[in-house]
Copies of this chain bind each other. A is one copy, B any other.
Amino acid sequence: MRPLLALALLSLTAATHAPVTPTSIVASAPSSAWRAISPDDLLVIDLKNGRRVIIQLAPRFAPVHVANIRALARASWWDGATVYRVQDNYVVQWGHNEGTAPLPANVVAKPPGEYWRRAAGLKIHPLGYRDSYAPKVGFADGWPVALDRAGKTAALTHCYGFVGVGRDLYPDTGTGGELYAVIGNAPRPLDRNIAVVGRVIEGIDAFSALPRGTGDLGFYTDHAEEVPIARVRLASSLATVDQPSFQYLDTNSASFARYVHARANRKDEFFECPAGGVDICNVPVPIRRTPAR
């Protein structure tokens, strides 16, 4: 009987002293720590293969580009477009690569840079650990940001799943018609060099598991390889019953602070040697489907 007893005691111990992990902290965050995401900020991409990718837009960081993207979605501009580039450990890119689709009249053809914004007006929760690229990093309004030394400007960081605007050589900034999502190690050198407009919050594997393109920069060399897009819509344009609904964890909440600490100091049954630090892209802001009431 002894082994059984020992096992029972062990289980009891595990239940009462379950290790605190990032997951357990997020799971126990109070409902007051969660913030709703507006359906105007949700871009829903339906691929013809039946897969769906949902992107949260970041209008406070790239307002002109996001307004363009909303206008393009409302004009059904991407219907029939394709995913035409998949570069391993870098990006997936989609749109009308041939550039033949005329832009709707309400799309700004040459938007301003929007590679960063003034930090004034943002309530920033500092990450509290060293960053390899920026003097300071933190979170604002549920988004990871890199600050300049004086803390006067904030740029969204190129983390896994983040979405940016394809562009030609500087000073072109792109319209928003060609977008890419990061599917590899965070390409942070792109920060402050391109407009970041959002992040994939569901269905990233519909992009990341696609066959890699064999052309330069991962472009598909044969149009037959491209992945057709059925339609792209704002959630707010869908019938109410069809609207996906999401929340993000308030990055100024106590739960989020505990989550950051746990990500930087992994110490549970598996981890024996906590790093005592973490890069901002390894602290993804928790996002969830809005729970049923």
Binding site for B on A (CB under 8 A): 86, 88-89, 115, 129-134, 159-161, 169-170, 184-189, 191-193, 204-205, 208-212, 263, 266, 269-275, 277-282
The answer to whether B270 touches A169, judged by C-beta atoms less than 8 angstroms apart, is yes
Contacts of A208 in B (CB 8 A): 88-89, 208, 212
Copies of this chain per assembly: 2
The answer to whether A270 touches B193, judged by C-beta atoms less than 8 angstroms apart, is yes
Contacts of A184 in B (CB 8 A): 160, 184-185
Contacts of A88 in B (CB 8 A): 204-205, 208-209
The answer to whether B210 touches A169, judged by C-beta atoms less than 8 angstroms apart, is no
- With contacts A185-B185, A186-B279, A189-B275 known, what are 5 further pairs, Cβ within 8 A? A88-B208, A132-B277, A169-B270, A188-B282, A208-B212
* A interface majority secondary structure: loop
Of all chain B residues, the one with the shortest Cβ separation from A204 is B88
The answer to whether B133 touches A188, judged by C-beta atoms less than 8 angstroms apart, is no
A115 vs B56: C-alpha distance in the bound complex, in angstroms? 38
Which of B212, B271, B279 contacts A279 (CB under 8 A)?
B279
Of all chain B residues, the one with the shortest Cβ separation from A280 is B132
Asked, given contacts A132-B132, A132-B278, A161-B89, whether A273 binds B209 with beta carbons under 8 Å apart, the answer is: no
Which of B131, B134, B160 contacts A185 (CB under 8 A)?
B160
A186 vs B271: C-alpha distance in the bound complex, in angstroms? 16
The answer to whether B169 touches A269, judged by C-beta atoms less than 8 angstroms apart, is yes
The answer to whether A277 touches B133, judged by C-beta atoms less than 8 angstroms apart, is yes
The answer to whether B270 touches A170, judged by C-beta atoms less than 8 angstroms apart, is yes
Which of B133, B160, B170 contacts A272 (CB under 8 A)?
B170
8 contacts between A and B (CB under 8 A): A133-B279, A169-B269, A188-B275, A192-B275, A193-B266, A205-B211, A208-B212, A209-B210
7 tightest A-B CB contacts, nearest first = A132-B279, A192-B273, A205-B212, A133-B275, A160-B185, A170-B272, A130-B130
A160 vs B169: C-alpha distance in the bound complex, in angstroms? 28
A129 vs B89: C-alpha distance in the bound complex, in angstroms? 22
Contacts of A281 in B (CB 8 A): 185
Which of B133, B193, B212, B282 contacts A209 (CB under 8 A)?
B212
Of all chain B residues, the one with the shortest Cβ separation from A274 is B189
The answer to whether A185 touches B159, judged by C-beta atoms less than 8 angstroms apart, is yes
Contacts of A193 in B (CB 8 A): 266, 270-273
Contacts of A212 in B (CB 8 A): 205, 208-209
A134 vs B275: C-alpha distance in the bound complex, in angstroms? 7
A184 vs B159: C-alpha distance in the bound complex, in angstroms? 10
